[in-house]
A and B are shown apart, each in its own frame.
Chain A
Amino acid sequence: MNGTTTRDADRPLTAAPAVPPPPRGPLGRLGWALADGWTITVRDLTHWVRRPAQIIVGLLFPVMVVLIFGYVFGGGMVVPGGGDYREFLMPGMFAMTMVFGIEATFTAVANDIGKGVTDRFRSLPMARSAVVTGRGAADMLNSALGLAAMIVCGLAVGWRWHNGPGAALAAVGLLLLLRFALLWAGVYLGLITKNPEAVMAVQILVWPLGFLSNTFAAPATMPGWLAAIAEWNPMSATVSAARELFGNPGWGGDSFAAQHAMALAVIWPVVLLAVFFPLSVRRYRRLSH
C-alpha cells in the first residue's frame, strides 16, 4: 500500500453509486436473471482472452489425438464393412471433445466453491440461478468452439459429411446435446467435491467413458462384456448417430443399442439431464443448509 490510500478519512466512502431497485414482475426477474447470467458468461469468456495459451492447448489436444489415431494407429485399423478409418474416427473425436468438456465445467465449479467465490455471488443482490446458467452458457460456447475446431481439423484430414448440411447440423445438435447433459454432471460433481484438484478423479471417470466406446474401434472386436459396455455407453449412441447423419462409415452391429443409436442419442442425454439437473439444483440449494 502506498500510504496515501486509506488515510484520507474525510473522503466519503458512503457516496454509493445508485442502483436500480430489484424487479417486481416475473418478466423483470427473468431479465435480471439473464443479465446476471450474461455477466458470469462474460467473466468466463474473458478468461479466454487472458489465457489464450490454455484455450489453444485445449483445442490442440484433440487434434493431436486425431493425428495419432488417424495416422499412427489408423493404418492398422480396419473399419467393419469397409471405409476410411479417418472418416470413421472423426465423429468419435467430436463426441470425445464434448465428453472431455466435463472436466472444464467441473474444475470451474469446484474452484469457485472452494475459493468462496460462489458464496460471494450468493451474498450479492443478484439472481441466484445466474451463477449456474452463466457458467453453463460459457461452457457451451467453449465446447461449440472446440467442436468447430475439430470439424476444421476433420476437413483437413479428409473427413467429409455426405448427407447434406441439414443432416450435418442435426449431428452437431446431437453432439451439443450430449455436452449439455454432461454439463450438469460436471456441475453436480463440482458442487459435491468442492475441490478443483479432484479433477484427477473426474478424469478417471471420463477417460473410460471416452475410450470404452465405439470411438476408436468397433465393439465387435472387443471381448463380449466390454463390447456390451461400449455399445451401451451414452457416448457411443451419439457417435453412431453422428456417423449415420454425416454419412460416415459405421460399424453396424445387430444389438439393440446399435440398431437404435439415433433414438438412444436423444434418450441418453435426456436421461442424464433428468438425473443431474435436479441433483445439481438440489445441491446448489443445499449450500444454504
Chain B
Amino acid sequence: MKRLFLLSTFVCLSLSLLAQGPLERRVDFEVKNSSIADALEQLSELASVRIAFSSDIFPAEKRISFRMRDAMVKNVLSKILKNTGVQYRLVGRQIVLYFKPPPPKEYTISGYIRDAISGEKLIAANVYESQSRRGTSSNAYGFYSLTLQKGIRQIRFSYLGYQMQLEEININSDLKLNIDLKPAITLSEVVVTARPGGEEAATINTYDIVPERYETLPTLGGEVDVIRLAHLLPGVQTGADGVGGIHIRGGNADQNLVLLDGVPVYNPAHMAGIFSVFNSKAIRSARLTKGSFPARYGGRLSSVLDVRTKEGNKKSFRKEINLGLTSAKFTIEGPLKKDTSSIFLSARRSFLDFFVRPISERIKEDRGESGFSSYNFYDVNAKINFSAGDRNEFFASFYKGGDNFHNETRIDFQSPSGNFSFRQLDSQDLEWGNTVASLRWNHIFGNKLFSNASINYSRYQFESSDVFSYEDLLRLDSSSLREFNLGRFSSLIQDVSAKLDIEYVPSVKHYWRMGAELTRHYFRPGVAALNDNIALSFPDIAFIFSSLDSIDNPSIATLEAALYAEDEWQISDRLHANIGLRASMWQIGSRIYYNVRPRLAFSYDLKRDLRLKASYSSISQYLHLLTTTGIGLPNDLWVPSTERVAPQDSWQVVVGVDYRRKNDFDLSVEGYFKKLNNVIAYQEGSSISFINADNWENNVTTGQGWTYGMELFLDKSIGNTTGWLSYTLSWSLRQFNRVNLGETFPFRYDRRHNLKLVLIHKLGEKWELSGNWVYGTGLATTLPISEYQASIPDFPGRPELAVNFGDKNSFRLPNYHRLDVGANYSFGRNVQNHTLSFGFYNVYNRRNPLYYRLSRGTSNPVDPRGRQYIEVSLLPVTPYFSYSIEF
C-alpha cells in the first residue's frame, strides 16, 4: 500500500512536471565554483529536461556560483549563460543551446551635402545604403548622419535635379564625409514630392516644393511664386486669383506658420494675396506640411510653410537679372572667401505704379478732378554665411518687403458766376510690410549631434493716413469755411526670439530632435487718431501729422516659450513612427497659459510600394488674426491670447495610404478630421477703426470649427511629361456666439470639390511647355434675400430698412475654374544663360467672381436699371512675358 502511494505520488509529480513546459518548471538550484557545462548538467538532472549543447562554446576557465530557490528553469538558464554569448531555444521538449556571435561594430558617417557648383547646402537630399537598407536625409541645414555596420559599403547620395553619386567606403571608424552633388544636365524630376525619401517616413502630407521646377509653371504677370504653386496642392484653398491667402484643410489664414529661414512672416502677401512676398530668386527650398506636423513646429494649427533662402555661391560670383511685366529683379551672389564664406543679395520691385498712375490720372480728369493713384511693392533678401572649420557655420539673413499705396484727389471748383468757389483735397497713404532678420550658428558635436542656435527678429506693420481738406474761398456773405480731417491708423506685431534646435542620431533606429524657443511678442493692435474741423491752412498739415506722431500708442507685450522633443523611430523594417511632445507657455500680464501637446504619426509599409499611415496631433496657438472680411486685407490685426481671449487649439486625425509605382507615379489618399477650438472673429457689426489695444477684446467673439474631408494626389514625376492631379473633397464649418446669431455656418473657404491638374512637357533641351487647370466649388457667401420696414409701434427710433440675408454663407459663388498655359525657352552657354518665359493666365477668360453686390438702382420706380446683382471679377485673360539672364 505504501509503495502504491509512493508510486502514485511520483506519477502525479512527473505528470505535473510534464504538464508544465520545460522552461517553466521550478527547481531549487545551487552551484559553487562550477564550470558552465557542469552547471547545465546539474540543471538537466534537477529539472528532468534534456539540454543539448557543445561544451566548447563556453570558456573552460569560467566558474560560476549562485543559488536560486523555486526558480523557473528559464531564469536559471539565463543566469548560467549570462555574458557568454550563448542563447537557448526549445526544440520539442529539449532545450538546445547555441552560440550567437555579437553584431558587427557600427560607425557613423556624417557631413554636409552640397551643390558642387555653388557650395549651397542641399536640404532633404537622400542618403541610402542598399545592403542594410538603411537611409536618411539631410536636414534643413544640409547635414546628415547615418550609422552603418563595419565593412565595405556602397552609399548612394541623391537629390532632385542633381546627378546621383555612389560612394564605396570601407567603414572602420566614424567618418566625416561632405558630398558635393553635381546638377543634372536634364531635369526630369518631380515638381513636388509627397514623400521625402528616408527622412521622416512617418510624417504625413509633406510637400517639398522645388524652385527649379515651379519656375516652369505658368505665372501671373511673369511672377514666379512659391505660394501660387502651393495653391495647386490638395487641401490648399484660396479665394479668386489668390485673394484671401491660403487656407489649409479648412483652417483660417492665421493658422499657417510661414517661416522664412525659420523666422515667422506675419503677412506673406503682396496685393491681398495676388503675389507673395517670396522672391523666387532668393528661395532655395520650400516645404509645406499640412497633416500632423512634427513637434519641432508649433504655434499654428493648420500648416507649416518652411521657406529657406539661398546662402550664396561659395565658388564664384553669379548675377541674374529678371524682367517681367509686373516687376524686375536683380540677384548677385558670390564668395567673400572661396569655399569659406559667401554673400547673397536679391531685390525685387514692382512696376504696377507705372500702369496705375496714368490710368488713375485719366479717370480723375474725366471726373473733373486732378490727382493720381499709385501702388508698388518691393522685397530685399540678403544673407551672409561663414564657415569656421568643419564644425561651425554662421549665418546672418535679412528680409524687408513692403507695399505702398497713395491716392490723392483734388477738386478746384468755381461757379460760373464767380461768386462761389471751393477747393478740396482728399489724400490717402497706405504702407505695410514685413521685416525679418536672423543670426544663426550651426555646430556639429561629434558625428551624431547637430545644433542650430539662432536669434531672430520679425516685424509686420500697417500704417494708413488720411487727409481731407475743404475750403470755401469766396462766399456771398464773405465769410469762409474751412474744414480739415486728418486720421492715422496703425497696427504692429513684432517678435524678438532666441531658439535652439538639437538633432541627435543615437542609433540607426532613432532620430531625436529637441529644442527650446523663447519669444517676446509686441502687439499694437490698432490705433486711430484723428483731428476734425481744425481751421488751419494747407501748410499746417505737416504740423498736425507730426503732432499725431507723438500720440502715445499703447502696446501689449507677451512672452512665449516652448520646449519640444521628437523621435523618428524605425520600430521595425516596416513600421515607422514620429512621436513628439511640445510644451509651451504664454504669459501676458499676470495670466499664464500652459500647454503640453502630443504629436503621433505612424506609417506601415504593407508592401514595398504600399504604405499605410495614420496620425494624431494636438496643437495650441496663442496668436489670433482678426479679419473683417476673410479676404486678407493688410489691416487685419494680429492680437494675443489674453485673460479673456483663450488660445486657439485643435486636434486632427489623419489616415491615409501611399502607393508608389517605381519610376512611374505616386498616389496618395488621405482622410482627415480637424476640430478647432477658441477661434475668434469680430463680432458682427464691430467698428474696426475704433479698435485699439484697450478695447479689441470687447469686439471679438469666440467660436469653434469643424473641418473634414478626403484628399487625393496622383503625381507623375519621371519622364518628359510630368505633372500631377489633385482632388479634395472637404467640409469646413464655423460657429461663433456672436456671428450668425450663434448658429453654425459654412466657412467662407468651404469648397466641396477642388480639382487641380498640372502638366509639364519637355521638348528637347530648350523648350518646356506647361499648363494647369483648376476647378473648385464656389466659395460660400451671403446675399440679401428680402427686406421690410422695421417700424415697431411705441418703440423709440426711426423706421429702419431690415434686410434678411437668411443664414450666413448660405449662397455659393459660381464654381471657380481657370486654365493657365506657358512656355519657357532657355538658351546660352554656362557663362550666360538666358530664359524667355511667356504664356497666358486664365486662357479662356473665365470670369471668376471675387464677390457679388446688390445694386439698388435709384428710388425712381421707372428707373430701368432696377435692382440687380453685380458680379465683380478680377483677372480676365492675362498674357505674361519675362526674360532673365544669368551671368
A is bound by B: no
Which A residues have a C-beta under 8 Å from some C-beta of B? none
